[in-house]
Amino acid sequence: MNNFLVKILLSCIGIGYGVFVSAQNNINGKIIDEQNQGVDAAVVMLVSLPENILIEATLTDSNGLFSFPLRKGKFLLYVRMLGYKEIKRNITIAEVKNIPDIQLEPDEIDLKDVVITARKSHPMTSSYNGKIQIHVSQSFLADIGNALDVLKHSPGISVNSKGDVSLATLGGTAIYINGRKLMLQGDGLSSYLRSLPSSKISRIETSPTPDASFEADGAGGIINIILKPSELSSFSLRTSHGVSYWENLKQNSDIAFSYGTNKWQLGFNYNHSIGHYAMNYGYEKRQNGNKSFSETADTDKRNTYSSGIDFSWQPNDESKIFFNSSVSLLTGPGETQTTTYIYKGTSVLDGILKARNNYIEQKNIRYNNSANYLYQPSKEQSFSLSADWTHFDGMARCEQPNDYFSAINTQLRSDLYYSQPNKDINIYALLADYQYNPNERNKLLVGSKASLIKSDNTFLFKKNGTLDPQRSNIFYYNEKNIEGYTQYTHNWGKFELSCGLRLEYTYIYNKLNAHTHQEIEDNHRNHLRLFPNLTILYTINEKNRIALLYSRRQDKPRYEELNPFEYLLDEQSYWKGNPFLKPQISNKIILSYTWETLSLNLLYNKLDDYFTSLTDVFEKNKTIMTTKNIGTQHQVGLETTFSKHLTSWWDFSTNMGLYYFVNKLNYEIYRQEYKRPSCILSASNNIHLPCGINFELSGRYYSKRQGGSYEINKSTGGIDFGFNKSWHKGDMRLALLMTDALHSERWDNYGTKDALKLSSWGYGESRKIILRFSYRFGKQKSNKVEKNIEELNRL
C-alpha cells in the first residue's frame, strides 16, 4: 500500500483525471532487462483463469512500467519482448496492486562458438483496430520542444500555419489529454499545446472511430496525448533543459517533483519556453483581370510559462480524491511587415501598400481547476465524478501603420490603424461515469456530462486616433450542453462486439452589439443529435485479427466564426463571421486487418454540411473571407502501418495512406465538383550505434491534395534526424537533433473560382538544431507484496 497513491502524480499541466483514475485503481508493475533497466515496448497481457480469456493487453513505457485496471482473482501474466524469453506467471490478486519487478532473460542462440543476442525493438508506431500509437518517449519526439512540435512531426498528423491539428481523414480533430478533452479552440488550444513540454509525453494515440465514452466532437477522429505518470517513489524529481537555433535562439526548461505517503501525494511542475519564431508568407491574386502580389515577414516574440500543483488523497480502500490547479501564460510582442504591389492588368504597376502590424502587447492566460472522486465498492463496479472549470483570458493591442505609394515609390498618404481584441471565456463541466463488469465477457459503461460555455469578445478599432464605430463591436456567445452515453462490450471467444450511443442536446445563443452596447443582431439555436458507434472484432489466431468499425461524429464551428461582424484585415481584404453555421457531420466505416506488426485499414468517410473558410470576390478589387457550409465531402482510403526489427541494431516503422477525395460544392448559386487523389507517407528508423548511442532518422511526405473547397494544396514534407545517449540506468539523457533538415515544409496552395485566381505560399522556422539534457531522480520505496507466482504451460 505504500506506493498506492504515489503512482498518480502528474508531471503535467492542468489535466489529472485520466492518470488519476488509472493509477489509483490499477495493477502496476515493471519489466526490467538483465541490467536491471526498464524495458520499453514490452507486450504485457493479463489472462483470466480458469476461463483462459484475454482481458487486458498493454505496452510498457520508456521506464518499463505498465498498468492494468484493478481486477481481483487468479490470472496468467504473460510478457513478450523481441530478443528475450517469454515470461508466464500465475498470479493471485487480492488487495495488492503492485507486482514485483519482472526480469527478462535474453534469448540466446548458440551456433557452434558464436552467440547471437537480439536487442529490444524501439518502433515509433504501432497499430490495432484502426488506432495508431506513436511512442513519443522512446523517440526523438521527446526532445523536440513542446506538444505542438510533437504533433507537427508525428506520422499521420498534420498541423497547418494557424496551428490547427488534423488527421488524414475528413473533418476536424478533437484533442484529449489522458482521456479528457481539451475544451479550448483556436489560439487558446495552440497556446496550451505550446506550454506542454514534449518530455512529459509518453505516447500519442489516434483513433478515427472512438467509442461513446469520448465526446462526439472530432469528425475526423481524436488525438489522445498520454502523459508520463509519476515515478514509484516517496520523492521524485524530473527536469530537462534544451536550446534550439536556426534563425532565432530558443530555450526551454521544465521541472516536476512530488512527495507522498501511503495516504496522500503532492506534486508541483513548472516549465517555460523562451524565444522568437519566424514565418514568411504571401499570395498572388488575379481579380477581374488585375493582379496584386503580397509578401509578409512575421516574427512571433511571445514566450510561454506554465505551472501546476496536484494533490491526491485516499481516505479508504474504496475512495480516492484528486485536486489539480494549473495556469499557463503565452505573452510577448510580435511584428509583421507586409508589402503589397497592386497592378493594372497583370504587368503595369499602379501602387504599393506597405503595412506593418506592431503587436505592442499580446497575452493569453489559461486557468484550470478540477476535482475528481472515484468510488469502487467492488471489482465489478466503479463510479467517478469530476468537476472542471477553465478560464481563458486573451487580449492584444496592435498598431497598424499603412503607407500608400505610387508606382514610382512616392508616398501618397499614410493611415494609422489601432485594434484591440479581447476574449474572456469560461468553461464549466460536470462529468459522471459508471462502469460495471459482471464477468470477464461483459463490460458496460454509462455516463453523462453537463457543460456551460460563456464567451465575451470585444473588438476596438481606431483610425488615425479616432474610434471607428463601424469597426468596433461586442460579441457574446453562450452554449449549453447536456450529454449522455452508454457503451456495451461482449466477448464470445474469438468474437467481440462493442456498440455505443451518445446523445447530445445543445442550446446556443449569440448576440452582436455595437461598441455603444446597442444590439445589432442575436441568434438562437438548439438541436438534439445521436452519435452511434459499432465495432465487430474477430480474432483469427494469435497473429491475425479483423475488425469492422463504424462511427458518426461532428465538428462544431468555433466561437469566433459565428460572429457576424466584418473585420478589416488590410485595404484589400476582409474577414466576416457567419452566425448561421451548422455543425458538420461525418459517417465513417473502416475495415481493419492486423497481422503481427502489419495493419491495413480500408475506409470510407462522408462529411455532410462541411464548412470551410472561403475567399470570395468583394466589390471590384477586394476579397472577403467567410466560413460557410458549402456541401458534401467523400473520401475513400487505404492506410497501412508496419514496423519491423530489421536487424539487432535497426528498427524500422512506416505509415502510408492512399486517398481519393470528392468535394461537392452546393451553396448559394455555386455548384461545382472537385476530385483528386492524394497520398501520405512517413518512415522512421532507429539505429543502435556503438557506445550506447541511438541514431534516429525520420521523414514524412504529403502529396498534392484537394483543399476544403476549390483550392489545391501543393506537396510538402520534411526530414528529421538526431542522436541521443542515456546514462545511469536511463536517469540522465543527452540528445542532439535537427528538424526539417532540408527546410522543405511549406503551406503552398492555389485555386480558381469565377473571376478570382489566388495562389499563396508560406513557411516557418521549422528547421532548427536542438540540444537537450534530461535528468530524473527518485528514492524507490520498498514494498512487501504477498504473491503466488509459478511457471505454467505456454499460452
Angle 498-585-503 (CA atoms, 0-180°, nearest 5)? 50
Instruction: Count the neighbouring beta carbons within 10 Å of the beta carbon of residue 517.
Output: 7
pLDDT of residue 17: 35
pLDDT of residue 780: 41
pLDDT of residue 792: 23
> Is there a contact between 325 and 309 (Cβ–Cβ < 8 Å)?
yes
pLDDT of residue 11: 32
Q: What is the mean pLDDT of residues 94-120?
A: 59
pLDDT of residue 398: 92
- Taking the C-alpha atoms of residue 154 and residue 156, their distance in angstroms, rounded to an integer, is 6
562 or 767: whose pLDDT is higher?
767
337 or 1: whose pLDDT is higher?
337
pLDDT of residue 789: 24
pLDDT of residue 441: 86
Q: What is the mean pLDDT of residues 685-691?
A: 90
85 or 10: whose pLDDT is higher?
85
Q: What is the mean pLDDT of residues 254-258?
A: 89
Parallel, antiparallel, or unpaired: how do β-strands 566-570 and 573-576 relate?
antiparallel
DSSP labels, 534-563: EEEEEE-SSSEEEEEEEEEEEEPPPTGGG-
Whether residue 385 is predicted with pLDDT greater than 90 in this model: the reply is yes
pLDDT in tens, 146-203: 888 888 888 888 887 777 888 888 888 999 988 888 877 777 788 788 888 888 888 8
Whether residue 554 is predicted with pLDDT greater than 50 in this model: the reply is yes
pLDDT of residue 115: 40
pTM of the entire predicted model:
0.79
- Taking the C-alpha atoms of residue 600 and residue 29, their distance in angstroms, rounded to an integer, is 32
Q: What is the mean pLDDT of residues 467-474?
A: 86
pLDDT band for position 96 (cuts 50, 70, 90): low
pLDDT in tens, 32-42: 887 677 787 78
pLDDT in tens, 29-69: 888 887 677 787 788 888 888 767 777 888 887 778 888 87
Whether residue 538 is predicted with pLDDT greater than 90 in this model: the reply is yes
pLDDT band for position 140 (cuts 50, 70, 90): confident
In the chain, the amino acid numbered 247 is: E
pLDDT band for position 20 (cuts 50, 70, 90): very low
pLDDT of residue 45: 86
- Taking the C-alpha atoms of residue 323 and residue 9, their distance in angstroms, rounded to an integer, is 11
pLDDT in tens, 210-239: 999 999 999 889 999 988 875 545 688 889
pLDDT of residue 619: 65
Q: What is the mean pLDDT of the chain?
A: 84
Whether residue 108 is predicted with pLDDT greater than 60 in this model: the reply is no
pLDDT band for position 793 (cuts 50, 70, 90): very low
Whether residue 103 is predicted with pLDDT greater than 90 in this model: the reply is no
- Taking the C-alpha atoms of residue 25 and residue 437, their distance in angstroms, rounded to an integer, is 15
Percent of the chain having pLDDT more than 70? 89
737 or 18: whose pLDDT is higher?
737
pLDDT of residue 626: 84
CB-based contacts of 222-225 (< 8 A; 24+ apart in sequence): 222/173, 222/174, 222/175, 222/176, 223/151, 223/157, 223/165, 223/167, 223/173, 223/174, 223/175, 223/176, 224/176, 224/177, 224/178, 224/179, 225/147, 225/175, 225/176, 225/177, 225/178, 225/196, 225/201
* Among 656, 664, 611, 654, CA closest to 637: 656
Q: What is the mean pLDDT of residues 563-571?
A: 67
> Is there a contact between 554 and 593 (Cβ–Cβ < 8 Å)?
no
Looking up cell 492506410, which residue turns up? 639
> Is there a contact between 785 and 92 (Cβ–Cβ < 8 Å)?
no
pLDDT of residue 568: 66
Q: What is the mean pLDDT of residues 613-633?
A: 79
787 or 680: whose pLDDT is higher?
680
pLDDT of residue 621: 67
228 or 555: whose pLDDT is higher?
555
Whether residue 608 is predicted with pLDDT greater than 90 in this model: the reply is yes
415 or 625: whose pLDDT is higher?
415
pLDDT of residue 755: 79
What residues contact 61, with CB distance under 8 A and at least 6 apart?
38, 40, 137, 202, 203, 228, 229
pLDDT band for position 2 (cuts 50, 70, 90): very low
What residues contact 564, with CB distance under 8 A and at least 6 apart?
512, 521, 576, 577, 578, 579
Whether residue 565 is predicted with pLDDT greater than 90 in this model: the reply is no
